[in-house]
Structure 1
Amino acid sequence: MKLNIIKACALGVLAIGMYEGCKPEKFDGNGLTSTDLKASFTVTPVASKANYYVLNADTKGVLGVKWDLGDGAAIGKPTDTVFFPDAGKYTVTLTAIGKGGETKTASQDVNVATSDPSAGNLVLGSNMAASDDAFWNHITISNGVTFAIDNGKMVAKGGNYGHAGIWQAINVVAGRKYQIDMNVDGSGASDTWFEVYFGTKQPVNGSDYSDGGARLAINTWTGCGKTPFNGKLSAIQCAGSGNVVTAAATGKMYLLIKSGGNNLGLTGIEFTKVTLRGVQ
């Protein structure tokens, strides 16, 4: 009887030992992620260089950084110099990347007092807020397509081989180069064109426009715009002579954005942040 009790006790101790041995150990972190990662940065104006700012990220526990100036995050350097050509408030967001792909973010607002006189955007109403429509003149070349602002974007909609556009006058200086671009997106169109012109003739309602030739264009026959797209027009376009124009004379030139075709797509062709800047 006594021997049985001893055996039972021994088995009990062994079972407890095996249970304790199988219990997971406790760790403070698994060694694969950063325990000290944080997203923190400073913004400092560059002395004697208006509209330039130095972004300096805290690098403790940081393996990489992404900076977002409001137009999409991109890999950058922990210390970087950025340029804001236009007056306004910009939200700068830092994404700090640590071990194991762990990320943390932080944001700061940067208030730019004045536009750069050389590289500032010359387009009025470029962000397509509801009130920005007042800066644009609308033309209908043939019925079927309309242009209207919706939720921060100008939207070209319709089809049936209609044709319409918007334009505004821009003051230019002879011999100076100007670069045109915008953000554009669409769900995919068929038998459709979307074109940008910068000419010397003023557009007229009811008449097509071709002065200076198309500078940037989406054209489904040429090969772009058939499937969903989203990005800078300069990167998406597949037709046109180029988005840099040299002014032949001082005075007014006319920025025209027009679209037409059989079917501009379910969501139409949307665009915003239209820019026309002086370049070197």
Structure 2
Amino acid sequence: MPAFRRYSPRRNSTFGFLALVAALLLTILLAACGSSRLTTDRAYSKLKPKEQLPDREIREMPENLVIKITNVADAGKSFRNFIVLYVNGQEIAPVEKLSNFTSTYTYPMRLQHGVYEVKAEYHVVGFWREQVFDIIVDEPVKVLPDQRTLLQIKLDKDDPRPFIIEPAPEVIDSRPIVTRPAPNVIVPAPVQPVVQPAPQPVEAVPLPADAVTLQINTSPSGADVIIDDRYYGQSPVKIAVSSGQNHIVQISRAGYAEVVKILNAAELREQPLMQLLIKLEPAEAKNQN
């Protein structure tokens, strides 16, 4: 009589492989979850602020990068020379109110800690052309906690070598930061006007034998008068010039278009006194024309 036979179940090799894969994925997932937590020493480089501080509180923070460039321009040979500064490729404006005679350019900045690329250009402006010299830094500029990096240079205009500025870290106030609630009303800090002394005319030179008198009046008055790249003061002004050569007269005033005239030597010899009355046009009106 037939009877049932009992068989042992066959081992499923596919099930074992899937279990191994699942265990491997679970291990990777747990490792990933564990690595999502930051250590305290990695928090500085990974965490960024949710929003920036108010401008009032930023102004109260000490500057940690100060750049100062001196001996840029004067009323003599370097008249109208100027500086252009770049930090990480971004042009930075100095704190001084600029003019054709600005000698010192100062850039006090509050930057985040790190390494910055600093480069400046020295523009030498002549009557016929303009030359540009690079001012370079001989090592990376570092802004460190509780320190102020000071870069300063005094330009030597007679030295043909490239201008190089050297960073010199300087330790500043390192007291602990005290947090306090911001007031409801924010009062802007008063702006202190920058007053620059009026440029002094250059020293008088001996009169030439063929000198004639040149009287220059402008409307409005108070314009800077430059003859042959030499500053003579502000209009109205009376000047003795030689009649043996041509002269280039430049007249400029803030907010008005610059006027350039060429005085012919033949016209100067015909009269012992030459008068120039020049009406200055507003710069915007001349641009529209």
What TM-score, normalized by structure 1, do the two folds share? 0.28
Higher relative contact order (CA 8 A, sep 6+): 1
Larger gyration radius, structure 1 or structure 2: 2
